[in-house]
Structure 1
Amino acid sequence: MDGLTPIQAQLFALQDLDYRTFHCKLMPTVDPERVIGVRTPQIRQLAKQLSGTPEGEAFLQALPHRYYEENNLHGALLSLGKSYSWVLEGVNAFLPYVDNWATCDLLSPKVFRKHLPELREEIPRWLANPHPYTVRFGLGMLLSFYWGSDFQREYLDWAAALQREEYYVKMMVAWYFATALAKEYAVTLPYLQAHRLDPWTHNKAIQKAVESTRVSPEHKAYLRTLKVKSPPQPAL
């Protein structure tokens, strides 16, 4: 195709039109004209090839990107970074351009796991951001990294305090509480009993917890009794 950058041409060489049709249905917020149709494992493999190269570095500076897969490649490149400060700077530069749940959730830098105290200081700033996918990313960091000895009760407060109407933010709050019910049931249950979440997110968290294999049958039975009358699904 004429007018493509070398990296765009590489992505089009990996195009799967059947996958493109399928994947577009999963991302109603993304213009199908911006979707090439490249599977995530192939994007990750291309990221490995480009990581640390001048071509890869130039690509990371070339925001905004045209195609959905370019954004996914950008996220995959950042996720491979070895320097915490470099990755953090790159993530903060990239987040304003993230416009869908799939790109947001793909962005999960491995180096963050080695810097949890420093990362913790960034999360409240992401949660307070007006951009919904920056908020979702902040929640995703709590969901990915802060369990076991790294879990703190206040993280539940952070998530419960979010007053956002966007579907993909509410859904991530629900996922976070469903996971917390699986991992920290005794600490998390009072948030459901006290109705700290809006009705839709409250019920969605219970639904996801009940569907989980990590929640006991006894806990699932009790959680079902906590469901409330829910308003319609929030708009995408």
Structure 2
Amino acid sequence: MYQELRDRLHTESEQGYRNFHMNLVPGIENILGVRMPTLRKLAKELAKNDWRSYLKEAPEDYYEEVLLKGLVIGLSKCSLEEKLNDIADFVPKINNWAVCDSFCNSLKFTNKHMPEMLAFIEPYLSSEEEFEVRFAVVMLLSFYIESNHIDHVLSLLNQVKHQGYYVKMAVAWALSICYIKFPEKTTPWLKTNQLDDFTHNKALQKITESLRIDQQTKGWIRSLKR
């Protein structure tokens, strides 16, 4: 079964897309070049069958094979406890931003279990592993930048101290979304946050790149640069 799945991935791969994707994910060499719509289709097929055996037994030699497991976890029908166990098993396998962000985006069930998921992801914010921290930050920006959680999200982001580049970029991205959605909440925080200068300035840059911010406000945002 798993060899057939791998053969299918090879058949669906495109050399041009592989080269393009490798440029987006520096340092990751085991990419076949299978497009996301195809992976989502495969994940849906797998999730309808014995997905538990698939998660335990299927190989993970290629980038797409790892990502495919993450997508299946997002689609699997099971208890919250089992889902969280599968996520906990998967997070240490994340070694690049693309798998991280695609995996987070697939965890739509979070919308039905907001308190439980928040309690689950918060410990990852203090992890020593770069992509474990990014996982938590991307989960926050994907599901928790809304009225009931914005204050807590800003507080949590202010506490992230990991020096990894992909953590800092995720925090900056999250802060830009906070400002765009909740400028009145985020404005005072931009003046007093404890972020390092790189992350702070990158957040300002991302805010000014938004088409939803007027030119006068962009000028003020730039004045906060360190």
Which of residues 48, 60, 70 in structure 1 aligns to 2:55? 60
Q: Any idea what the Cα deviations from partners look like across 1:121-163, whole Å, max 9, x if unmatched? A: 1121111222211111111111011133332412212111111
Q: For residues 207-236 of structure 1, what are the alpha-carbon distances to aligned partners after superposition, in whole Å with 9 as ceiling and x for unaligned?
A: 1000112333332121011112xxxxxxxx
Give distance in 2, aligned partners of 1:147 and 1:168.
Answer: 19
Q: Which amino acid aligns with 1:99?
A: N
Letter of the 1:118 counterpart: E
For residue 82 of structure 1, report the CA deviation from its aligned partner.
3.2
- CA RMSD, Structure 1 to Structure 2 (Å): 1.6
Deviation at 1:64, TM superposition (A): 6.5
- Cα deviation for residue 94 of structure 1 reads 0.6
Q: Could you list the per-position Cα deviations for residues 161-220 of structure 1 after superposition, in whole angstroms to 9, with x for gaps in the alignment? A: 111111100000000111111011122122221242111111110010001123333321
| Structure-2-length-normalised TM-score | 0.92
Q: CA deviation at 1:111?
A: 0.9
Tell me if structure 2 keeps the 8 A contact 1:81–1:111: no
TM-score, length basis structure 1: 0.88
Contact 2:145–2:153 (8 Å) recurs in 1: no
- Which residue is equivalent to 1:158? 156
Aligned partner of 1:61: which letter? K
Q: What's 2:177 paired with?
A: 179
State the distance in 2 between where 1:218 and 1:82 align.
48
Question: In structure 2, what is the Cα distance between the partners aligned to 1:172 and 1:137?
Answer: 9
Residue aligning to 2:110: 112
Q: Give unmatched runs, 5+ long, in structure 2.
A: none
Matches within 5 A, 1:1-236: 5-30=3-28, 32=29, 34-54=30-50, 56-62=51-57, 65-83=60-78, 84-108=80-104, 109-228=107-226
CA contact (8 A) 1:29 1:99 kept: no
**Inter-partner Cα distance in structure 2 for 1:99 and 1:63:** 18
Measured in 2, the distance between the counterparts of 1:64 and 1:203 equals 41
Deviation at 1:12, TM superposition (A): 0.7
Distance (Å, rounded) in 2 between the aligned partners of 1:64 and 1:180: 38
CA distance, structure 2, for counterparts of residue 91 and residue 64 of structure 1: 17
Distance across 1 between alignment mates of 2:155 and 2:145: 15
Aligned pairs, number: 222
Residue 232 of structure 1 is matched in structure 2 by: none
Distance 1:213 1:204 in 2: 17
Rounded Cα–Cα distance in structure 2 between residues aligned with 1:166 and 1:148: 26
Give the AA of the match of 1:176: A
CA contact (8 A) 2:21 2:33 kept: yes
CA contact (8 A) 1:191 1:197 kept: no
Q: Say which SS state the counterpart of residue 65 (structure 1) adopts.
A: coil
